[in-house]
A and B are shown apart, each in its own frame.
Chain A
Amino acid sequence: MLRIRNLKCYYGRIQAIKGVTLSVRQGELVALMGANGAGKSTLLQAVSGLSPQWEGEVLFEGRSLKGLSPPAIVRRGVSLTPEGRMLFPPMTVLDNLKLGAYLRYRRKEHRSVEGDLERVWKLFPVLGERRLQPAGTLSGGEQQMLAIGRALMARPKLLLLDEPSMGLAPLLVKRILETLVRLKEEGLTLLLVEQNARAALQIADRGYVLETGRVVLSGAAGDLLADQDVKRAYLGKDYREFAEGRG
């Protein structure tokens, strides 16, 4: 579904991605892992059109995304849940969600948007309870749910998630991840960027490990979870958390 070949991205004069080839097949949940600065977020930004300075090939359903604006990419069926959620705090939960369906309102799809709101309430009942509350008053976990809900309102075929577990308590991380599994079961394809490699690999089908802008490992999630290199580099922190009983 998503096929990236030899992607190179620049941040000014710094090359953040140095030739990455990866793919996400229909119905898959793929985890993209790596330390800070490995280039994970940059990659998602390139795919979603937020960072136009890239070389290589990004194909979605066989067609290139090169040169497309972010709204055009959303129309193709790719939505991003950005790092740090990027909500509109003074606006209500409901309005934030409706913003996610902005393109569809323009296409006069009001009725199906209503249906999708119901879907979000079902997925995250707490958002339904607080639909008229300003987004800024929600807890961190609820805000993350809202960010995912908002992305779903565009009816994506592929959902890109940038660090959805960041800053959340373990129990909430678990909730969010369970939601992602549910979305996958409903047929959504997901590319998940995570620093919390253990959590990501537990729900993913496959994974890629990025290191300074390059893929150094890829494979089935189970194999990567058992991999000594991955354990040393990316699971260390989680091990301590487990030892302290916070897992």
Chain B
Amino acid sequence: MSMALCRGDVECMDPEERTQRQLEGLQSTLNRAFKNVPFYRNRFQERGIDVASIESLEDLARLPFTERRHLSDHYPYGLFAVPLRDIVRIHTAPGSTALNPTVSGYTRGDLALWKEMVARALGASGVTASDILQIHLDTGLANWARDYKDGAESMEAGVVPLTFLPLEKQLMVLRDYKTSVLITTPSAALQLVRVLFESEVNPNALNLETLVLVGETADDKTRAYLEERLHVKTWVHYGLSEVPGPALAFECESKQGLHVSEDHFYPEIVNPLTGDPLGEGEEGELILTSLTTRAFPLLRFRTGDRARFLPGACPHGCTLRRLAWLPGRTDRLVVLRGVKLHHRQVLTLLERALGFEPSHCRFSIRRRRGADFLEVRLGVDDRIFSDEIKGLERWVRDLGVELTQELGVPVAIQLQEKASFASPEGEAGLEDRRGEDEEAG
């Protein structure tokens, strides 16, 4: 029997009916955004776009994109489309390029919608009421953890909510609490496998059956490795960490691409350079438009994620459109443990923590003992140098802690001779050096 998917009429809706519903959702979303959000209203008016002229889903391509920086620019509530008193939850995510974080709001109805969407995605991953879920994510993805908790609880599954425990403690919970479903990022899962074997825990001691991988793409090799090491089935969910939430697209039993919850979010794939819509099968940037959410309408949001639509029907009869989520990004963001980072954002935070502009610095993503982290290398100068080694060590540690808190991912600070930097400017941006680290063992 086919699992969970095609439960109702929504997953298996006739495409013509789906288009009608999407157009209805799109038009009412546009009307609300135009009426209630000055940012959208002005952008439409500046371009002479009459909302009523968007008469088909294809017409959507005439609207301008919303970019990550717009979310930070309108900090905190500038993009909300309902009065604040209707908001029942406020999520904060690190901003990607500016200092301002991204703030998104949810009405009571929105929360119910997310519950439904997360529950649908979990259901498609074979999760049922008899499962025990554990959520293991970095603080940068704390919002997702809440959504997963709510969604799983609404299915009456048992949930061990996100707590920021050391890995050894996570492992203890995993084993002792008989966790059957673990929600985590591929990189954290790899690290877990390593620690599991190092601490001599046999995977047979675990009840784990399902691994839901979020935040990063996972290649077949990694999935096969995790499945083999942990004796589990893996499932991939796609989501957005800033707004609006996790599980926007999810795998069904056939595992042939991710079904987009297109009853709530309309997907487009465009050429990242020209912004032109691309045809089925062509690789490009994924663009998302909300069709049903109330508090935070999102119109043509540039996700920066690479994807392509998969042609043909899903063998399980689900008519929600499928996409292949591809590794890499169309922007300069780097994804670390599911959290998106931009070198300028790291630099700004570093300057603020230091109280001055560092003369020499480099940022790179590293992997040590299976664990990914952000390495900040700082050139030592008079402002940093102290002849008291203990004081310097403490200073380095404090700086690391501060950046870790700000970014929501582990940060390690390395002090280095100024002379060892080829050039002072961090022009290299954010280097991904995980490959080198792996080769070095």
Contact = CB atoms under 8 A, between A and B. Distances in A.
A23 B82 contact: no
A241 interface: no
A21 B20 contact: yes
B20 A23 contact: yes
A5 interface: yes
Interface stretch (A110-118, A145-153, A187-195, A209-217): A209-217
A223 interface: yes
Contacts of B53: 19
A18 interface: yes
A219 B292 contact: yes
A179 interface: no
Interface stretch (B28-36, B203-211, B238-246, B345-353): B28-36
Contacts of B25: 218
Interface in A201-247: 208, 211, 214-219, 223, 226-229
A19 B30 CA distance: 12
A22 B24 contact: yes
A40 interface: no
A227 B28 CA distance: 15
B104 to A, nearest CB: 18
A211 B53 CA distance: 17
The range of chain B's interface size is 20 to 34
B53 to A, nearest CB: 8
Contact of A229 (B24, B55, B82): B82
Given A217-B28, A217-B32, A228-B82, A19 B109 contact: no
Chain B facing A: main interface SS: helix
Interface residues of A, number: 24
B107 interface: yes
A25 B52 CA distance: 24
Interface string B49-85: 0011101000000000000000000000000001101
Interface string B401-431: 0000000000000000000000000000000
B42 to A, nearest CB: 19
Interface string B76-103: 0000001101100000000000000000
B23 interface: yes
B289 interface: no
A214 B109 contact: no
B86 A228 contact: yes
A19 B20 contact: no
Contacts of A23: 17, 20-21, 24
A14 to B, nearest CB: 15
Contacts of B17: 23, 25
A23 B53 CA distance: 19
Contacts of B28: 208, 214-218
Given A218-B24, A219-B292, A18 B107 contact: no
A226 B111 CA distance: 13
A170 B31 CA distance: 34
B24 A227 contact: no
Contact of B24 (A18, A21, A211, A226): A21
A138 B109 CA distance: 44
A19 B52 CA distance: 6
B52 A8 contact: yes
13 contacts: A3-B20, A6-B52, A19-B27, A23-B20, A214-B52, A216-B28, A217-B28, A217-B32, A218-B28, A223-B109, A226-B108, A227-B294, A228-B86
Which A-B residue pairs are the 3 nearest by beta carbons? A19-B52, A228-B86, A6-B55
